[in-house]
């Protein structure tokens, strides 16, 4: 493949900087659309491999950027690199994240349409790194807002804070985001960033109380213990050694070689100041962090009636102070359950197991609500300060979506169910925005063509989210029958309600052959990206996410400024049953889809090259899976099946009219007729192009390249 072939953008803009590309840049094809054997997955992966070997981690599928995590610093994100990609057309320079960044920004500026960059991929594939590089690009290259550049710092500094509280070391990634994130950056009419807004999704709060072997709790705990000043730790009643805290020892890996908690602590402390935290607020926040550690060390012993009693007085004392609650109330709440029956309050003592459950539930609630509070607090700091100024009214928005990819583990539970549902929704959106709109454009332009077959995953989204009949509805129904329903009755109800569905299998619903591979407490979903078997154990509990009433009451009485915002008395009203976790998640996803739909989409598809987190290793099996999960082959097929390039007649004529004596220097008739004359003169064959209502469609890139070449002569 000659390089010239990829020197044109799908917008047909000419290459002017060919010299900017070295021989190394040209390894393989820079756009999969140009692969001779475009239906072959092997050819696709071979192209990725060849480029990866040369540290060329970026390749396009038309406008979609595919990125392979290099696991090494390639020195390709400097200010110089940013400059190289500014204002040039997509294909003038080697594929790069900054090319996407710049294209998106220019579309935002010139078309004044909101944009959204959707970054997907599995854990460790490089989504968060990409998001950070994009933000950095905008912070460094966009003009400064009229009212100073503080908002740029805040946009950048919100990151280390969110990462400290929402990221953790997992087996897959030393800095794994344990929440989904959508961030809007608002630009004024001059293209300066003036504000931002963050939405967060489903923090993995179970991590607060339990970590698998080789994994850690959220970074902030270790940062505080490692970096916190003596005096601060003394006030919080903390010891420096993470081994002292039961919530930090489960994974047995407090120290991670790639992480420097001490220096990260400094970064976070500074960032908190930038995002408008006062010293008092920092102290309040850290008090909550410390209280979670103390909670984890609360021990119970059984009295003669097998009722749990708190035995760790010192921890209780610190907790009382840090959470600003009454000691006796907290003690009682940790060891009793309040039940309201026939208008009367009854206190029922908890046994050891129940008390431990209540304690952990409180720790999870305190931490996750603090995280939500933190996001809101950051949002207040990012809110455009010049809301009154006229420029506010003409803001445009650029969204960055960094959200968990499809997950298939040995053991899949409620969390994977939610995450994979989220991926189904995003795939559905991708289909709507890309595949469908592509076909619709041909229809609107009156162009005859063979529709490309693609799998529409709406059927799976419906299976999960449909009212009454969907999995979430059935699960919620079972959650309404406390005491009677169990995870297994949920499964039975699911079987009875859904019966036969091409995308759902259970032990009962499967045929002889498949049945063997399914346990009795499992269901299998045939996702667009592959099959996943979920164990129903814990589904009800996780979906209900109950916090005993008296723990809630205790927290509502807290005088801690943060806790009093996190726990609201209205929750105590019997009339208001809180939405279940799955339903809340579903609603937030529907909202996200609406937000994304209203924007022009751009896609970055991230791939993780190996499980060892090492540079230079290209694990083909692993990569093949991801190519499948990310739907890349289908994406390419649709892209190739249609017309690679399309341009409005006016624009096409304007650009190429010099190539034909009849259209040069001006064409008096309709642009469409001018283009017809022009392409006839250029010798386009009938199968190479089609004339639509407003645009010319060119099937193969090479046709346009030849025309471009003619321009240069």
Residues designated as active site: 123-124, 128, 173, 176-177, 405, 407
User: Whose Cβ is closer to Mg ion: residue 127's or residue 154's?
Assistant: 127
Q: Could you tell me which stretch among 116-124, 248-256, 527-535, 626-634 binds ligand ATP (CB under 6 A)? A: 116-124
- Cβ nearer to Mg ion, comparing 89 with 128: 128
Q: Does the footprint of ligand ATP cover residue 618 (CB under 6 A)?
A: no
Site for Mg ion in 84-143 (CB under 5 A): 127-128
Nearest to 162 by CA among 178, 174, 173, 150: 178
Q: Compute the least distance from the CB of residue 637 to Mg ion, in Å.
A: 29
DSSP annotation of 686 = G
Q: Which does 449 bind (CB under 5 to 8 A by kind): Mg ion, ligand ATP, none?
A: none
- 313 or 611: CB nearest ligand ATP: 611
One of 63, 95, 121, 196 touching ligand ATP (CB under 6 A): 121
Does 67 sit near Mg ion (CB under 5 A)? no
Q: Does 159 engage in binding with Mg ion (CB under 5 A)? A: no
- Contact residue for ligand ATP among 12, 62, 63, 126 (CB under 6 A): 126
Integer Cα distance of 695 and 599 in angstroms: 23
For residues 110-148, one letter each, b for 16 or more C-beta atoms within 10 angstroms of the residue's C-beta and e for the rest, the string is eeeebbbbbbbbbbbbbbbbbbbbbbbbbbebbeebeee
Q: Which of 5, 82, 88, 125 binds ligand ATP (CB under 6 A)?
A: 125
The one of Mg ion, ligand ATP, none whose footprint includes residue 120, by CB under 5 to 8 A per kind, is: none
CB of 139 closer than 8 Å to CB of 187 = no
Query: Which of Mg ion, ligand ATP, none does residue 392 bind to, with CB < 5 to 8 Å depending on kind?
Result: none
Of 294 and 608, CB closest to ligand ATP: 608
Tell the smallest beta-carbon distance from residue 120 to ligand ATP (Å).
Answer: 9
- Cα–Cα distance measured from residue 195 to residue 334, given in angstroms and rounded to the nearest whole number: 42
Backbone angles phi, psi at 105, to 5 degrees: -65, -40
Residue 55 makes contact with ligand ATP by CB under 6 A: no
242 makes contact, choosing from ligand ATP, Mg ion, none, with CB < 5 to 8 Å by partner type, with: none
Counting residues that bind ligand ATP (by CB under 6 A) gives: 20
Q: Which does residue 421 bind out of Mg ion, ligand ATP, none, counting CB within 5 to 8 angstroms by kind? A: none
Rg (CA), the chain: 28
Residue 189 in contact with ligand ATP, rule: CB under 6 A:
no
Which option in Mg ion, ligand ATP, none does residue 404 bind, with CB closer than 5 to 8 A by kind? ligand ATP
Judge contact between 32 and 637, C-beta under 8 A. Answer: no
- Per CB under 6 A, does 129 bind ligand ATP? yes
Pairing label, strands 64-68, 600-607: parallel
Residue 582 corresponds to which tokens in the numbers above? 């799955």
The answer to whether residue 127 forms part of the interface with ligand ATP (CB under 6 A) is yes
Determine the interface stretch with ligand ATP among 31-39, 65-73, 184-192, 589-597 (rule: CB under 6 A).
65-73
Handedness of CA 86, 91, 92, 98 (dihedral sign): positive
Cα gap 194→151, rounded to integer Å: 6
Output the smallest distance, CB 411 to Mg ion, in A: 22
State whether the Cα torsion 208-212-216-218 is positive or negative.
negative
- Taking CB under 6 A as the criterion, the residue among 41, 43, 150, 175 binding ligand ATP is 175
30: Cα within 13 Å, side-chain hemisphere: 26
Contact of 11 with 90, CB cutoff 8 Å: yes
Phi and psi at residue 496, to the nearest 5°: -70, -35
Per-residue x/- mask for ligand ATP, residues 593 to 612, rule CB under 6 A?
Answer: -------------x------
Which residues partner with 58 through β-bridges? 67
Tokens of 267: 């970064």
Residue 149 contacts ligand ATP per CB under 6 A: no
From candidates 62, 95, 124, 227, binder to ligand ATP by CB under 6 A: 124
Among 1, 70, 497, 641, contact with ligand ATP (rule: CB under 6 A):
70
- Look at strands 115-120 and 396-402 and give their pairing: parallel
DSSP 302: E
Q: What is the 3-state secondary structure (H, E, C) of 588-630?
A: HHHHHHHHHHCCEEEEEEEECCCCCCCCCCCCHHHHHHHHHHC
CA distance 208 to 671: 64
Verify binding: residue 196, ligand ATP, rule CB under 6 A.
Answer: no
Of residues 161 through 180, those in contact with Mg ion by CB under 5 A are 177
Residue among 359, 364, 313 at smallest CA distance from 334: 359
* Number of other CB atoms surrounding residue 423 within 10 Å: 21
Binding residues vs Mg ion (CB under 5 A) = 127-128, 177
Binding residues vs ligand ATP (CB under 6 A) = 69-71, 73-74, 121, 123-129, 172-173, 175-177, 404, 606
């Amino acid at each position: 493949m000659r390089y010239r072939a990829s020197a044109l953008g799908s917008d047909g803009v000419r290459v002017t900087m060919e010299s900017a590309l070295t021989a190394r840049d040209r390894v393989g094809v820079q756009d999969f659309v140009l692969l001779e054997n475009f239906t072959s997955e092997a050819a696709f992966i071979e192209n990725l491999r060849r480029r990866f070997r040369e540290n060329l981690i970026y390749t396009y599928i038309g406008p979609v950027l595919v990125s392979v995590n290099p696991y090494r610093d390639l020195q390709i994100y400097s200010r110089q690199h940013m400059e190289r990609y500014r204002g040039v057309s997509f294909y003038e320079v080697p594929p790069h994240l900054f090319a996407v960044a710049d294209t998106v920004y220019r579309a935002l500026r010139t078309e004044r349409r909101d944009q959204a960059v959707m970054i997907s991929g599995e854990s460790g594939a490089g989504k968060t790194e990409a998001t950070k590089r994009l933000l950095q690009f905008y912070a460094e290259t966009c003009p400064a807002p009229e009212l100073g550049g503080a908002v740029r710092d805040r946009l950048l500094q919100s990151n280390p804070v969110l990462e400290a509280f929402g990221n953790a070391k997992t087996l897959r990634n030393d800095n794994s985001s344990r929440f989904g994130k959508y961030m809007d950056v608002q630009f004024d009419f001059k293209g300066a960033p003036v504000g931002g807004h963050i939405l967060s999704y489903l923090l993995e709060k179970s991590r607060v109380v339990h970590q698998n072997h080789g994994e850690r709790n959220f970074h902030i705990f270790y940062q505080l213990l490692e970096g916190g000043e003596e005096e601060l730790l003394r006030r919080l009643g903390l010891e420096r050694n993470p081994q002292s805290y039961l919530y930090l020892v489960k994974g047995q890996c407090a120290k991670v070689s790639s992480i420097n908690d001490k220096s990260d602590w400094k970064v976070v402390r500074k960032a908190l100041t930038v995002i408008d935290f006062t010293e008092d607020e920092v102290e309040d926040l850290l008090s909550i962090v410390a209280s979670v550690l103390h909670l984890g060390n609360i021990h119970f012993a059984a009295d003669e009636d097998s009722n749990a009693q708190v035995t760790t007085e010192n921890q209780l004392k610190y907790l009382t102070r840090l959470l600003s609650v009454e000691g006796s109330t907290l003690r009682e709440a940790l060891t009793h359950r309040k039940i309201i029956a026939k208008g009367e309050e009854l206190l029922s003592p908890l046994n050891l197991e129940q008390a431990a459950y209540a304690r952990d539930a409180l720790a999870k609630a305190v931490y996750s609500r603090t995280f939500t509070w933190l996001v809101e607090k950051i949002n207040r700091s990012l809110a455009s300060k010049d809301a009154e100024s006229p420029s506010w009214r003409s803001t445009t928005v650029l969204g960055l979506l960094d959200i968990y990819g499809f997950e298939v583990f040995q053991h899949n539970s409620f969390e994977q169910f939610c995450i994979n549902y989220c991926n189904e929704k995003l795939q559905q959106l991708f289909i709507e925005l890309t595949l469908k709109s592509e076909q619709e454009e041909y229809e609107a332009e009156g162009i005859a063509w063979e529709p490309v077959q693609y799998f529409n995953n709406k059927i799976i989204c419906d299976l999960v989210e449909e009212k009454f009949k969907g999995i979430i509805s059935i699960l919620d129904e079972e959650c309404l029958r406390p005491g009677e329903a169990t995870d297994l009755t949920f499964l039975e109800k699911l079987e009875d309600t859904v019966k036969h569905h091409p995308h759902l299998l259970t032990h009962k619903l499967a045929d002889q052959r498949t049945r063997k591979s399914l346990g009795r407490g499992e269901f299998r979903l045939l996702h667009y990206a592959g099959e996943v078997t979920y164990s129903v154990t814990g589904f009800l509990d996780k979906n209900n996410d109950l916090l005993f009433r008296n723990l809630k009451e205790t927290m509502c009485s807290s005088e801690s400024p943060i806790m009093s915002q996190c726990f609201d008395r209205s929750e105590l009203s019997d009339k208001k049953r809180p939405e279940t976790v799955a339903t809340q998640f579903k609603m937030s996803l529907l909202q996200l889809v609406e937000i994304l739909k209203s924007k022009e989409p751009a896609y970055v598809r991230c791939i993780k090259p190996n499980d060892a987190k090492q540079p230079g290793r290209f694990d083909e099996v692993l990569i093949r899976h991801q190519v499948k999960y990310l739907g890349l082959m289908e994406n390419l097929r649709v892209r190739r099946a249609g017309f690679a390039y399309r341009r409005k007649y006016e624009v096409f004529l304007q650009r190429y009219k010099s190539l034909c004596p009849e259209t040069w220097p001006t064409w008096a008739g309709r642009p469409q007729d001018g283009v017809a004359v022009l392409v006839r003169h250029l010798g386009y064959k009938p199968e190479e192009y089609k004339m639509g209502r407003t645009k010319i469609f060119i099937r193969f890139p090479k046709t346009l390249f030849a025309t471009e070449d003619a321009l240069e002569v």
